[in-house]
Amino acid sequence: MRWDAVVIGAGPAGAVCAREMARGGARVLLLDRAHFPRPKVCGCCVNGSAIGTLARLGLSDVLAHAVPLREVALARGSRGARVPLPAGVALSREAFDTALVERAARAGAEFRPGTSAKLEGELRRANVVVLATGLVGNDGAPEPGSRIGAGAQVPAADVPDFYANGTIFMATGCGGYVGLVRVEDGRLDIAAAFDAHFVRASGSLGAAATAVLRETGWPVPANLADLNWKGTPALTRRAKQLAGERWFAVGDAAGYVEPFTGEGMAWAVASAAALAPIALRAARAWHPRFVREWEAAHRRTIGARQRTCKLVSRVLRSPTLTALAVRALGVVPALARPVVSRLNRSPVLTKVGA
């Protein structure tokens, strides 16, 4: 059959976009090469911005079993600081992504897991195609010196008591940083960003994470280096195009910046919600102006937020600046309030079908 839209990739960006377009009356096919539920390299944090976007979309229920977050614990060497969070939850990607796909299917989208797809092929059977294919989508070019991502999960029984519910732990070191948070089933989710040469010198992703934690003096979970670690391509990358004739890129496929806590998920759901009304009109009758509309909407929705995260990541790359920041925050945690508030502010959404 001829589809109004084919969405390639069923992560948060793809699933939300498919749901919103289906709610707007489009015939939507949602594809993913993986079978769900499946883990992803991700910090598993949903910040206040994402929570607000999900609420306005009527999707608050997908967070029903999430763990509320109250603070971020930062460490550089022996120094530490704790910064309060105004909002946020932790939820595994297995639970979060599966719930969003289910909501897309309830809205009328047809989901086909275990299905590989390419833009050229899907354009032959759809009015528009949405690329939500993650970091490897849209042939994005990595920025020089971009760090690589890494992730693993520690079973609940092996998590040291130090890593309590409700806190995001961020250990920073010379070669990168390691984020740790307890998710809904008690597991400890680990998401890290490392310099590639640091991983090579350490011998493995797990060994790199162990080295960073030992720098801070935080407990190293048993058998950390031997967990099932997964890596990502270079994190910070710019998409060659955000859109072309009858196709749009969204989520990580539209470009990605090394994120701060919860920002990756916020960008995904906000950009999907912003794209849906544009893609819906494009599916009814294509016009080249939709390319420019999406470029402008993407900049307006997440452009400033990504610039903020790029600034934070530059600070985290500098041992001197990180040490100064942690020392200052240890004395006056409120110094983080402007950045935290900015990243937790929800974007303004356009009504689907407008």
In a domain, 50, yes or no: yes
Is the CA virtual torsion 122, 124, 126, 130 positive or negative?
Answer: positive
Tell me the residue range of the domain where 135 lies: 3-66+92-142+236-317
Peptide bond connecting 37 to the previous residue in cis, omega within 30 degrees of 0: yes
Q: Identify the residue whose tokens are 């689907």.
A: 352
Q: How many CA atoms lie within 13 A of 349 on its CB side?
A: 27
At 138 the pLDDT is 56
Given this model, what pLDDT does residue 353 score? 47
In this structure, is residue 15 part of a structural domain?
Answer: yes
Helical H runs in the chain? 12-23, 48-56, 93-106, 119-123, 196-202, 205-216, 263-284, 289-298, 304-317, 319-331, 337-344
Asked if the structure places residue 251 within a domain, the reply is yes
Local structure of 330: helix, strand or coil: helix
Asked if the structure places residue 347 within a domain, the reply is no
Query: Which pLDDT score, from 0 to 100, does residue 143 have?
Result: 75
* C-alpha span between 60 and 15 (Å, rounded): 15
Under DSSP, is residue 193 helix (H, G, I), strand (E, B) or coil? strand
pLDDT for 343 equals: 57
The amino acid present at 14, given as its one-letter code, is G
| pLDDT given at position 29 | 98
Q: Contact 51/12 with Cβ under 8 angstroms?
A: no
Residue 354 lies in a domain: no
* Tally of domains in the chain: 1
- State the Cα–Cα distance between residues 206 and 225, nearest whole angstrom: 4
Q: For residue 166, is it within any domain?
A: no
Averaged pLDDT in 10-residue chunks for the chain of 354 residues = 95 98 98 94 92 96 97 91 92 97 98 95 96 77 81 96 96 92 97 94 96 96 94 78 96 77 84 97 97 95 76 72 76 67 59 50
CATH number at residue 287: 3.50.50.60
Residue 351 placed within a domain: no
Number of other residues whose CB lies within 10 A of the CB of residue 326: 19
Domain assignment of residue 46, yes or no: yes
